[in-house]
Amino acid sequence: MGIFGALTTSVAGLRAESYALENISGNIANSQTTAFKRIDTSFLDLIPETGPTQQKAGSVTSASRSTNTVQGDVQAASVSTYMAINGSGFFVVQKPGNFTDNAPIFDGVENYTRRGDFTLNKDGYLVNGAGYYLEGIPIDPTTGNLVGSAPQVLKFKNDFLPAQATSKVEYRANLASYPLTTKHDVSIPGSELLKPADFSAGNDPTVAGTGKVIGSDVQTFIDESIAGGAVTAYDVSGAPVNLQFRWAKTDSASLGAGHTDTWNMFYQVDPNATGTDTAWQNVGINFTFGANGQPNPPVASVTLTGATVNGVALGNPVVNFSSGGLTQYADANGNVQVNQIQQDGFPAGSLQSVSISNNGRVVGNYSNGRNLDLAEITLATFNGPDFLKRKDGGAFEATDESGQALFGNGGTIVGSSLEGSNTDIADEFTKLIVTQQAYSANTKVITTSNQMVQDLLNVLR
């Protein structure tokens, strides 16, 4: 390499440093861009063909080096539909090819991004700040099962969630071994018990299966029983009704041999019953308890066959007591300590908003208070993520070098958060100084080479 070779090499150096400067400027400009992945610059030496004793330093060229696998800082955000990926992976997205009647038309080409600033637009799509539409796998809100296995563009309609009738009631409670009913008198044995003789002739409320309390006996029943809690239940159309329970102790082991601690459970049929109308219905089971306060025999559940409350038909809801859920221990308050009473029905409701959970699901928030999973967000990974082709808006597309998208091995999704740019301003300014100095040095080589050429021309004069 002669003087002119030094000139061309210096020009190549200027080009390489200019290329590096362009990458640095782009990194600095995008230091606040959501999930931006900086571009580093690699310098490659070009060695000319020479003999083994005349090897030269050669020229230089530059190339980009992606940092798609370097994660930016994850920061909390106040928008419930924002999300970030902690670990590897990309959101699967599409961008509409065109619009017809303001509706997006997709061409089926999938892109990938880590930009998670998604918000719900007027048409029910989750769209990020760069205009890309999120893909995922829908979930049937009534069954909770995934609908299919391939990701698709998600759209959430403002439809009504159908009502669900109450089919089971989870009930856990402790019955005071000595109930403090209105008619109890500690000086009178058995005064705390419900006495069939106090009720109208032919209307024994303790008869298993058919026992009931008629309207004219309601006050007597209230005086000889204790409240067992209430829960709002729903019929098939979503109509609400107040399902109330009461407990009455019908026998006590304290009365001597041949007696056991026995209880009957009732639910209210008609709060306005009069005369011979049914006001309270016996559930049809004698609950007996041993000296240890445990049911003997155990009762796992009871079915309220043909239950109708205040004119609302509830069908055949099941009251589940679970193992150890119903006990009879001493309680100074003398009442029923209800530890759990909840049911599985709900009225119809419309979709009000959506949010992202930390298990990577889109959760719909309905006007009836229900929060249901609507879709599962799919993350794509690649064998060669740094070989993805970059597109505008922080998106990428697969290439032969990156390989095709793989699903199921991505990181975790963090809801209400955003990933920041992985650009380090301090590092970029350091590289900027080094690049500037290297560029200046190359110009100095050109100046020196030019001076040497001038000296050579002067020799020939």
pLDDT tops 70 at residue 49: no
Give the pLDDT mean for 288-317: 94
pLDDT tens digits along 161-192: 888 999 999 999 999 999 999 999 999 999 99
Q: How far apart are alpha carbons 13 and 60 in whole angstroms? A: 6
pLDDT tens digits along 254-278: 999 989 999 999 999 999 999 999 9
Q: How confident is the model at residue 47 (pLDDT cuts 50, 70, 90)?
A: confident
Cβ neighbours of 17 (radius 10 Å)? 24
The class that CATH gives domain 168-343 is: mainly beta
Give the pLDDT mean for 268-293: 94
The predicted structure's pLDDT at residue 413 = 95
Give the pLDDT mean for 278-282: 96
Helices assigned H by DSSP within 216-292: 218-223
| Contact residues for 416 (Cβ-Cβ < 8 A; gap 6+) | 76, 77, 78, 79, 80, 82, 83, 355, 356
- Specify burial of residue 310 (Cβ count, 10 A radius: 0-12, 13-18, 19+): middle
Q: How confident is the model at residue 100 (pLDDT cuts 50, 70, 90)?
A: confident
Helices assigned H by DSSP within 123-195: none
Q: How confident is the model at residue 324 (pLDDT cuts 50, 70, 90)?
A: confident
In degrees and rounded to multiples of 5, residue 99 shows phi and psi of -125, 140
Give the pLDDT mean for 321-340: 93
The structural domains of the chain, with segments of one domain joined by +, span 3-66+425-459, 74-159+350-419, 168-343
Give the pLDDT mean for 408-420: 93
The predicted structure's pLDDT at residue 169 = 97
Q: Which residue has the higher pLDDT, 103 or 56?
A: 103
| Range with the poorest average pLDDT among 100-104, 297-301, 312-316 | 100-104
The predicted structure's pLDDT at residue 52 = 65
| Range with the poorest average pLDDT among 44-53, 108-117, 419-428 | 44-53
Q: Which residue has the higher pLDDT, 209 or 239?
A: 239
pLDDT tops 90 at residue 152: yes
Residue reference for tokens 């009365």: 255
Identify the bridge partners of residue 63 per DSSP, sorted by sequence position: 42
| Range with the poorest average pLDDT among 24-28, 85-89, 179-183, 205-209 | 205-209
Q: What is the mean pLDDT of the chain?
A: 92
The predicted structure's pLDDT at residue 8 = 85
Q: How confident is the model at residue 101 (pLDDT cuts 50, 70, 90)?
A: confident
The predicted structure's pLDDT at residue 54 = 63
The predicted structure's pLDDT at residue 10 = 87
The predicted structure's pLDDT at residue 340 = 95
Give 300's Cβ-side CA count (13 Å radius): 0
Q: How far apart are alpha carbons 432 and 418 in whole angstroms? A: 28
The predicted structure's pLDDT at residue 51 = 58
The predicted structure's pLDDT at residue 31 = 95
| Residue 149 identity (one-letter amino acid) | S
Q: How confident is the model at residue 48 (pLDDT cuts 50, 70, 90)?
A: confident
Give the pLDDT mean for 199-225: 91
Residue 138: is the preceding peptide bond cis (ω within 30°)?
A: no
Single pTM value for the model: 0.73
Q: How confident is the model at residue 322 (pLDDT cuts 50, 70, 90)?
A: confident
**173 near 228, Cβ under 8 Å?**
yes
Is residue 257 classed as helix, strand or coil in its secondary structure?
Answer: coil
